Structure 1
Amino acid sequence: MSVYLVKGKGWRYDFTKNGVRHTATWFRLKADAQKAEAKKREELEQEQELEPEPPQHMQTEVVKTPTDMAFLDLVNRRLDHVKAYNSQRHYTDYLYLAKRWVKLWGKLLVNQISQDMLMAFLFERTKVSNITANKELRYLRATFRFGIQNKCVQVDPTEEISFFPTEEIVRMVPSSAEIDRVIAAAEPDTQDYLWTMRDTLARVSEVNRLTWNDVDFNARHVILYTRKRKGGSLTPRKVLMTNKLFEVLSRRYAARDKTKPWVFWHTYWDNKTGERVQGPYRDRKRIMKTLCEKAEVGYFRFHPIRHSGATLMDNNNVPLGAIQKILGHRNRSTTELYLHSMDKSDREAMETFERARERESHTESHTESQTKRAAENG
């Protein structure tokens, strides 16, 4: 894939020849990028033909080396792909990790990065946690395999590295009362944000992406868009409004700034332009820690609100298929992971166990008593 599109920027050509990367950006049309690539390849061929051939006694056998590229270039190309095809949150996570890798290996070629170098790095990351190290490994492996898939490199130094063992823990899922207390501790605008998330069971990115065009007051539903699909395409789903959500959005709509399409937006400092701009939220990580402390409840972030709502519906006999549809899960098994409840069969099994245990204990106790009395009378 030497010619590809980067969403919001344009077409780009990118190829490696004789271990050297050649790229140019941004073309309005794919055909323009293809023509520019062809011209560049032709120039390289001509340069190669014009190079003087060394005398016979100085000629050596030319050994072709595997295709390779600078690790920094591979990371940048992978980041371009993630930004175009994945969610903003995934891109932000990737960029955060990539900056650490580039500090270590940014001046190296990919084939200079060995398994031993990566293992030393990952063992260092286990000092934070094995989960942290495993995340680094997943993202690194995705980067190298992206390079192989696009014929930029031929090696994946993570191939023989195994994931570190981890302990599965039950995530902290807040109760309805705890969520109520956190919402009550928030400012009015944040209260609306949390109610929207709570009563749609939406992901953070879906609420941040919500515009007034996605809100239908007549049909009383909202349309949420997610990139949690293969290929990164935005996929819509409809979620019916609760009475509370209808009240919240109706009030916000009446007081909205008509020049802003988003339901939730803010003014922030843009590091790229060096100016204050207005736009939708990208993430609001810090606010939940402050609100949980203020409400005096155990710390949780936005995502457990989805888990809490799904579990609440499951406990009240809402069909699993309906919960799956509301959450926007393609697979039923994913929805089941969200449900932190014991179903009827689990309860019945434990009740049967308890009755059997008590009955057996009673029988053994009665037998021992009879044996003891017989011994005393004998």
Structure 2
Amino acid sequence: MSLYFVEGKGWRYEFEHKKVRYTKAWFKKKSEAKAAEAERRKEVKNPTPEPMIPIDTDFLTLVNRRLDYVKTYNSEGHFKDVLYHCRRWVKEWQDLKCSEITHTMIEDYIIKRSKASPIVANKELQYLRALFNYGIKRKMIENNPTDQIGFLPVEKRKKYIPPKDDVVRVISMADPDTQHYLWTIVLTAGRVNEVNSLTWDDVSFTDRSITLWTRKRKNGNKEPREVPMVPKLYEILHHRFQQRKDELPWVFWHEYWCRNTRQWVRAPYKDRKKIMGTLCERANVRYFRYHAMRHLTASILDEMGIPIGTIQRILGHQNRKTTEIYLHSIGDAERKAMNKLQQVDGFSRIDATLLDKSVNMSRSFWKRKVKRPSLEILMSEINNLGFSAVGRKYGVSDNAVRKWMKGYKG
């Protein structure tokens, strides 16, 4: 304990704690300095925790910040999707603080959206969870009200993959420019936005390869993948290259009237929504969209015995499980596995009765009564077990057992 007197400043204390120096002067008496030093030491060794100031943000502010982030780091298509959902949320909770939005409010909203479909409701929940997690990560809010809310069960259906002949028929109904576009999707297994953004810099006639760019990655990174050019695709792109306009970098583009600038604009396609419906109607086939052709290419490669790792690289998937979703064909491995059932005793021959129409009897035949025990056995079991237990043993009701008794006794 360091206490000393300084002329003109009175008594003073001075000490050090965890390499930090603490001092104070202007005490008239030594006892006062000593008491003050003891009190200060106590405060330093046991500091009073600062009160936690709850953090909170207006819901509208959080939504706007999230939209700015998605627009910067993700694709334009994903931004539009998130924007669509955000507009719905703002109508519900625009005047509230994030802390005022409760678990129950979110759950009620999800149940309301499930009337459209469980898939729609699950997507709303997925995007809401991402919104509040973004706020927590940015220290704008403290809690996520979507926690502990589970996704709704959905009825998964087998995705329709058009037969190869239907795809060829649809392509043949299109004009030459659209035929080039559709063949490029089929022969590269590319996503629509990847083909739309394809430039001549991405096409290498020397290496006979195409570089497709995607933003479907974590943090929105734009990453390339190379796809080899098959001869048919080489002919298509070489033909387009001969007729290209030097000032336009895109492989596929169109000219349209822009209402904002009031002039004609040349730009790449964004999404050719209506064309597939028209072409499928002309070809008189079941309707499908561009992504189904990507599934078709993957399934054809799988049927040809191409390793799944190779198909995964062509499709540009990071996760093998995603690639497996695209493989809809029944391959030789599955057929060989199921054919082994023929080797099981009793499976190799067809029971003749299964082919006889006479076995298709009335329902009462298949629900015929159980075989009754003899009177002596029945009486013994009833005495030992009772009517209910005997009924459970033979798979009937206790009243049925009583009827058996009456039948035996006449």
* Alignment TM class, shorter chain as reference: 0.7 to 0.9
Correspondence for 1:306 among 276, 281, 294: 294
3-state secondary structure, aligned to 1:359: coil
297 and 150 in structure 1: CA distance in 2 versus 1, 3 angstrom threshold: same
Q: 1:105 — aligned with what?
A: 93
Correspondence for 2:115 among 118, 127, 140: 127
Count of residues paired in the alignment = 304
Correspondence for 1:197 among 185, 194, 205: 185
Matched, 1:79 2:67: yes
Structure 2 CA distance for aligned equivalents of residues 115 and 211 of structure 1: 48
Matched, 1:165 2:183: no
Structure 2 CA distance for aligned equivalents of residues 154 and 103 of structure 1: 23
Q: 1:93 — aligned with what?
A: 81
187 and 364 in structure 1: CA distance in 2 versus 1, 3 angstrom threshold: closer
3-state secondary structure, aligned to 1:278: strand
Structure 2 CA distance for aligned equivalents of residues 185 and 364 of structure 1: 51
Deviation at 1:155, TM superposition (A): 2.0
Q: Which has the bigger relative contact order, CA under 8 A and spacing at least 6? A: 1
Q: 1:150 — aligned with what?
A: 138
Q: 1:11 — aligned with what?
A: none
Matched, 1:239 2:227: yes
203 and 112 in structure 1: CA distance in 2 versus 1, 3 angstrom threshold: same
Q: 2:239 — aligned with what?
A: 251
71 and 324 in structure 1: CA distance in 2 versus 1, 3 angstrom threshold: same
Q: 1:373 — aligned with what?
A: none
Deviation at 1:144, TM superposition (A): 0.7
Structure 1 CA distance for aligned equivalents of residues 109 and 174 of structure 2: 41
Q: 1:334 — aligned with what?
A: 322
Deviation at 1:69, TM superposition (A): 1.6
Superimposed CA distance per residue, residues 7-38 of structure 1 (whole angstroms, 9 cap, x where no aligned partner): xxxxxxxxxxxxxxxxxxxxxxxxxxxxxxxx
Q: 1:186 — aligned with what?
A: 174
Query: Which structure has the larger Rg?
Result: 2
Alignment-mate amino acid for residue 214 of structure 2: T
**Which deviates more, 154-163 or 144-153?**
154-163
Correspondence for 1:359 among 313, 329, 348: 348
Deviation at 1:131, TM superposition (A): 0.6
1:227 touches 1:233 (CA, 8 Å); kept in 2? yes
Superimposed CA distance per residue, residues 41-80 of structure 1 (whole angstroms, 9 cap, x where no aligned partner): xxxxxxxxxxxxxxxxxxxxxx865212221221121111
Superposition TM-score, scaled by structure 1 size: 0.75
Identity value in percent: 48
Structure 2 CA distance for aligned equivalents of residues 251 and 215 of structure 1: 13
Alignment-mate amino acid for residue 127 of structure 2: Y
**Which ranges of structure 2 fall in alignment gaps of 5 or more residues?**
1-50, 355-410
Deviation at 1:185, TM superposition (A): 1.9
Correspondence for 1:267 among 252, 255, 268: 255
Deviation at 1:160, TM superposition (A): 2.1
209 and 67 in structure 1: CA distance in 2 versus 1, 3 angstrom threshold: same
Structure 2 CA distance for aligned equivalents of residues 144 and 286 of structure 1: 36
Deviation at 1:166, TM superposition (A): 0.6
Q: 2:31 — aligned with what?
A: none
The aligned runs of 1:130-141 (5 Å cut-off) are: 130-141=118-129
Structure 2 CA distance for aligned equivalents of residues 236 and 212 of structure 1: 15
Deviation at 1:209, TM superposition (A): 1.3
Alignment-mate amino acid for residue 333 of structure 2: S
Structure 1 CA distance for aligned equivalents of residues 281 and 343 of structure 2: 43
**Which deviates more, 248-257 or 283-292?**
283-292
1:89 touches 1:282 (CA, 8 Å); kept in 2? no
Superposition TM-score, scaled by structure 2 size: 0.69
Deviation at 1:226, TM superposition (A): 0.9
Alignment-mate amino acid for residue 182 of structure 1: V
Deviation at 1:234, TM superposition (A): 1.1
Alignment-mate amino acid for residue 293 of structure 2: I
Q: 1:296 — aligned with what?
A: 284
**Which deviates more, 272-281 or 297-306?**
272-281
Q: 1:114 — aligned with what?
A: 102
Structure 2 CA distance for aligned equivalents of residues 326 and 313 of structure 1: 10
CA RMSD of aligned residues (A): 2.3
355 and 215 in structure 1: CA distance in 2 versus 1, 3 angstrom threshold: same
1:88 touches 1:282 (CA, 8 Å); kept in 2? no
Structure 2 CA distance for aligned equivalents of residues 328 and 353 of structure 1: 37
Deviation at 1:335, TM superposition (A): 1.4
3-state secondary structure, aligned to 1:231: helix
Superimposed CA distance per residue, residues 234-293 of structure 1 (whole angstroms, 9 cap, x where no aligned partner): 111111111111111111111112111111122345566565533222222332222222
Structure 1 CA distance for aligned equivalents of residues 343 and 76 of structure 2: 53
Deviation at 1:354, TM superposition (A): 4.3
The aligned runs of 1:314-325 (5 Å cut-off) are: 314-325=302-313
**Which ranges of structure 1 fall in alignment gaps of 5 or more residues?**
1-62, 366-378
Alignment-mate amino acid for residue 316 of structure 1: M
Structure 2 CA distance for aligned equivalents of residues 145 and 134 of structure 1: 16
